[in-house]
Amino acid sequence: MDRRSVLKSAIALAAWYGLPSAPLFAAARATSDIADGEASSFSFEWLQGFARELAAKAYQSTVEQLPPTLANLTPQKYNAIGYDPAHSLWNSMNGPLDIQFFHVGMGFNQPVRMYSIDPQTQQAKEIHFRPDLFDYSRADVDVSQLEGQGDLGFAGFRVFKEPSLTERDIVSFLGASYFRAVDDTYQYGLSARGVTVNTYSDGKTEEFPAFTRFWFETPKPGATTFTAYALLDAPSLAGAYRFVIHCEDERVVMDIDKHLYPRKSIAQLGITPMTSMFSCGTQQRDMCLTFHPQIHDSDRLSMWLGNGEWVCRPLNNPPRVQFNTFGDDNPRGFGLLQTDHDFSHYEDIVANYHKRPSLWVEPKGQWGKGEIQMLEIPTTGETMDNVVAFWKPEKAIEPGQELNYGYKLYWSAQPPVKPDLARVRKTFTGIGGFPEGWAPGEHYPKVWAKRIAVDFTGGELKHFYDNGIDIKTQLDVPEGDVKQLDILWIEEIQGFRIQFDWYPTSDSTDPINMRLNLSADGNTVSETWLFQYFPTPPDEREYPAHPAAV
């Protein structure tokens, strides 16, 4: 099964994309304790042992065959299944946090078992599925088909903050090991995953590990932090996870510890994976097929490398599948960022791309050597996530090992850290080969070129400009010729625009990795711009006819 088949159901959901939530019951019934299973002891150490023992056994899928009324639901009908808030997990506490559960249906046929933990006794009780937890009136579900099916389990869960004031959830776990969170805009964007297996590996089929069980610690009264534990299972490995989730005013922060137990050798293990969408942007305006000037959940991969270097890698919607690796030793952080939050730059009143959060990974401890890897897949629209990024450890993954990783995920408009250096504002591309402010015409040689412009802002750039300190470029373009390199101060952005024309010297359309940073007084004063440019095919390297020549 390929990535797009797995993602198709999840990304089609209005609730998953942060549109209006499914309808709730108009009148709440009397509160009841939905954790009705028998009590058993629970601890994170027990969960680690359980996952370790599970990995020592042959994998057994728990995917179930759903009754037709659920299996054949459309995304719209699935999203119309309501949940009774009177039966939400912490409803009786009347506190700032509450949890509701997603129904199984459509492609969500992996039952997820849910448990509630009493923090005083550390006893866990299972929460069993039953139809009276849900409202099917708007979903056209034939409830009679659910009778005699036993415990169908749940598909996932979502977290509400101040549920008495809003029906918008702030955290959502749904499908395989995918999960999302929001910042203070309450707008979902990119997603994270528990782990990836063989996302892009020669001769290997990608696996989609799934969270199959969750345990929830009952929070203290008035708390905006809660802890959830998860069991992950897949043909190649099992895992035990602890999520300490801080639901702050302007962001959600997840403090995660996970222990992975391989069943098999794994060619490509992805730690802290994140999945996003980039359809078009300022550097690929020709890919915007609708009237929207930009369409993306994220605009760049940002990396704070172990040696202290900051790297900005603008995202692409490539003409063909592209896989890139960035070697590092003990990374300090990385993430897929949405840095542009100006509505006028998107003009989208449905998807609200200007509100979408960034996701930043902050490793805990020393991760050693490995690579930040990124896969970019061509897409013609905005309904398919086509960018995946993750950390791959250098050491081989073999059965019998135990891999422990700790990290924090920051879901916020901007990452929690930034360099003191100047940062890349935007990247632009367009037709070149003529002076700025003019257009190609009969008085200029008709030699095709691509103009590329990079804006840098912040850091000490204003100081350098005001004091006449020269800014120098360190530009590396390994293929083609670079001409007309200009360094321009732009008052409106309080920064420098570096623009140049790139002339092809062959018919090759292989991608070219361009690298640029700024220096002053012999010191590097900006983060590194690392751009993958796809040369225009030779038969398209023509200027449009000039009106004077017609």
Which 8-state DSSP code applies to residue 546? P
Instruction: Please spell the DSSP secondary structure of 239-277, one letter per residue.
Output: EEEEEEEEE-SS-EEEEEEEEEEESS-BS-EEEEEEEE-
Q: How far is CA 81 from CA 87, 130, 131, 163, 388, in A?
A: 15, 14, 11, 18, 30
What is the rounded CA–CA span in Å between residue 358 and residue 114? 29
- With a CB cutoff of 8 Å and minimum separation 6, the contacts of 468 are none
Give the pTM: 0.93
**What pLDDT does residue 164 have?**
64
Q: What is the mean pLDDT of residues 48-77?
A: 96
CA dihedral 322, 332, 399, 47 (to 10 degrees): -120
At residue 134, the pLDDT reads 94
pLDDT band at residue 547 under the 50/70/90 scheme: low
What rounded mean pLDDT belongs to the chain? 90
- pLDDT value at residue 447: 83
Looking at residues 447-474, what average pLDDT do you find?
A: 96
Burial 186-211 (b: 16+ CB within 10 A, else e): ebbbbbbbbbbbbbbeeeeebbbbbb
Tell me the pLDDT tens digit for each residue of 177-208. 999 999 999 999 999 999 999 999 888 899 99
Which pLDDT value is given to residue 147?
85
Q: Which of 49-53, 291-295, 403-407 has the lowest mean pLDDT?
A: 291-295
CA angle 187, 188, 190 (to 5 degrees): 140
Structure tokens at 258: 């996970």
Q: In the prediction, which pLDDT does 150 show?
A: 82
Q: What is the pLDDT of residues 382-418, one digit of tens each?
A: 888 999 999 999 999 999 999 999 999 999 999 999 9
Measured between alpha carbons, how far is 190 from 181 in angstroms, rounded to an integer?
9
- Between 442 and 333, the more confident residue is 333
pLDDT of residue 543: 77
Say yes or no to pLDDT of 66 above 70: yes
Mean local confidence (pLDDT), 289-307: 95
pLDDT band at 113 (very low <50, low <70, confident <90, very high): very high
Q: How many CB atoms lie within 10 A of CB 164?
A: 11
Nearest Cα to Cα of residue 234 among 62, 109, 115: 62
pLDDT of residue 168: 86
Confidence of residue 550 (pLDDT cuts 50, 70, 90): very low
When mean pLDDT is compared across 429-443, 483-497, 530-544, the lowest value belongs to: 429-443
Q: 56 to each of 59, 233, 237, 262, how far by Cα in Å?
A: 9, 12, 9, 9
* Pair of tokens at residue 535: 């040369």
Tokens of 137: 């009136």
User: How is 413-470 classified by DSSP, letter by letter?
Assistant: SS-S---SSBEEEEEEEEE-SS-TT----TTS-----EEEEEEEESTTHHHHHHTTPP
Q: What's the rounded Cα separation, in Å, for the pair 339 and 294? A: 13
Tokens read off for 350? 């449905």
Q: How many residues does the chain have?
A: 550
pLDDT at residue number 445: 60
Q: Which amino acid is at 418?
A: K
DSSP E strands, 119-251: 123-127, 134-135, 156-161, 169-174, 178-181, 191-193, 196-197, 210-217, 225-233, 237-247
Q: Please write the tens of the pLDDT for every residue from 467-488.
A: 999 999 999 999 999 999 999 9
Q: How confident is the model at residue 285 (pLDDT cuts 50, 70, 90)?
A: confident
The values of phi and psi at residue 341, to 5°, are -120, 30
Residue 311 has pLDDT above 90, yes or no: yes
Residue 357 CA to residue 338 CA, distance in Å, equals 6
The arithmetic mean of pLDDT across residues 121-133, rounded, is: 94
Question: Could you tell me what percent of the chain has a pLDDT over 70?
Answer: 91
Q: How far apart are CA 286 and CA 280, in angstroms?
A: 8
Tokens of 339: 């840095």
Closest CA to 379 of 290, 511, 279: 279
Q: Which pLDDT value is given to residue 8? A: 38
Query: Would the pLDDT of 10 be above 60?
Result: no
Go through the domains of the chain in sequence order and give each one's CATH number.
423-540 (2.60.40.10)
